[in-house]
Each structure stands twice: as structure tokens, then as C-alpha cells.
Structure 1
Amino acid sequence: MVQTKPISKTITSLLNLRERFNLTPTSNHQFSPEFTQDLPELTDSETAALDQIRNRFLRHRERGSLAEGTINHLVISPLLTLVETFRWNVSLLSRWNVSLLSRWNVSRWNASLNL
């Protein structure tokens, strides 16, 4: 009988995935050409910045899964800065979690505010 297990319980890190399936990263730029065709050339500083973001992410990711907030700090925020998103007419939406405690710590209420 075949046993089914959730992938998140079976493969817990990138290192585990590499070992289990004998995978190795590739630096072959022709591996997936649809992502590199018809794009403008990157400057040396853009390439260096992307390499730094990639290496930082891979170094942290190899040891296990990362929370969404960590991904935001390691990857998303630097990428947004690199593409100068904040120069555009873009508004960011944040979700704030608020916990309210009673004066005597008897009750607790949780709420989310979308700002």
C-alpha cells in the first residue's frame, strides 16, 4: 500500500531536498531561456546587487524554511529598492495586528487593521 505524506513534513529544507534527489544548483544561463530572452542588459552594479541578494537568501534558506517576514527582509525589500519601486506612484498596504489586554489581564482581544 502506498503511503502519502505531506511534502512539507517530508522535505524540510533545501539541503534535505538536494540530498534526497541528488540535486545540484546550475549556473548554466541556458537552463531556462524563457526567463532571459528579450531583456535589457543589467549593469555591473545591478548584477552585483542581485548576486548579493541571491547569495544571502541561499545561505539562510539552506538551513531550513524561512518565515515570510524573513523573506521580506532578505529578498523582497532589497529587490524593491533595486527596481526603484518607491519612485513610482505605488502605495503599500500593511496589515497591523493589535492585541488588547484588559487592565487586570482577565480578557484578551485580537484584531487586525488594514491600513
Structure 2
Amino acid sequence: MVQSLPIGNLSLSDVETKFDLKETQDETFFPEWHQDLPELTQSERQDLDQVKRNFLYQNKSPLAEVAVKMVVLAPLLSMAGFYQPPVSICDRSSGSNHR
């Protein structure tokens, strides 16, 4: 029988414990993540390693969605050049269309 749990009450740590999940360092686990990709510079590797360390540290306690965005998504978007011209961020929640 399949058991379902309300996701709002679970942290990643809860899921890891409940399903006995373990982190793997095996690079062949998802080989498609390592095929036909451009080489990263040493600086890019260091930046990505820092994002990973920050996430793993913050992950020790339940993370709110906003915290995940701050710890992981914002740095990755920055590294990808998302905040550079011609991209501009606008606040649609305020009803303003100014850029």
C-alpha cells in the first residue's frame, strides 16, 4: 500500500530519515549530468562548491522555500548572468510595470 504524507509537514531531513536516503558522490549516478558539457573554470568550480556547502549547512534544519532561493537559486542565477543587461527584474506583485 502506498503511503502519502502532507508535504507541508516534511523537511528534507524527514524524507531522508523516513526513506533511508543517503547522499552519493558517485559521478556515474546521473551520467547525463556529466556528458557533453563545457569545462568549468577553477573559479566557477569554487563558486559552485560554495553554493553546495552553503546548502548542505543550511539543510541541517528545515529550510523555508525563500531560504532555498536565497542560498541556492540566487547565486546560481547570478553565476549564469541572469542579473546582467539586458535582463531586468520587475515586481509584478505591486501592479507596477516600471522597469
Higher helix fraction (1 or 2): 2
TM above 0.5, yes or no, is yes
> TM-score, normalised on structure 2?
0.77
Q: Cα distance 1:49–1:20, how it changes in 2: closer, same or farther (>3 A)? A: same
Using CA pairs below 8 Å that are at least 6 residues apart, which structure has the higher relative contact order? 2
1:95 matches 2:92: yes
Tell me which of 4, 14, 28 is aligned to 1:16: 14
Match of 1:113 in 2: 95
Partner of 1:56, secondary structure, is helix
RMSD value over aligned CA atoms? 2.4
> TM-score, normalised on structure 1?
0.68
Tell me which of 22, 25, 32 is aligned to 2:23: 25
Higher strand fraction (1 or 2): 1
Q: Cα distance 1:114–1:67, how it changes in 2: closer, same or farther (>3 A)? A: farther
Distance, in Å, in 2 between the alignment partners of 1:72 and 1:43 is 24
Q: Cα distance 1:33–1:95, how it changes in 2: closer, same or farther (>3 A)? A: same
Match of 1:65 in 2: 63
Tell me which of 76, 82, 87 is aligned to 1:79: 76
Q: Which has the higher Rg, Structure 1 or Structure 2?
A: 1
How many aligned residue pairs are there? 97
Unaligned runs of 5+ in 2: none
Distance, in Å, in 1 between the alignment partners of 2:87 and 2:22 is 38
| Pairs within 5 Å for 1:25-44 | 25-44=23-42
Question: C-alpha displacement at 1:20, in angstroms?
Answer: 1.2
Distance, in Å, in 2 between the alignment partners of 1:9 and 1:85 is 30
Q: Cα distance 1:19–1:72, how it changes in 2: closer, same or farther (>3 A)? A: closer
Partner of 1:18, secondary structure, is helix
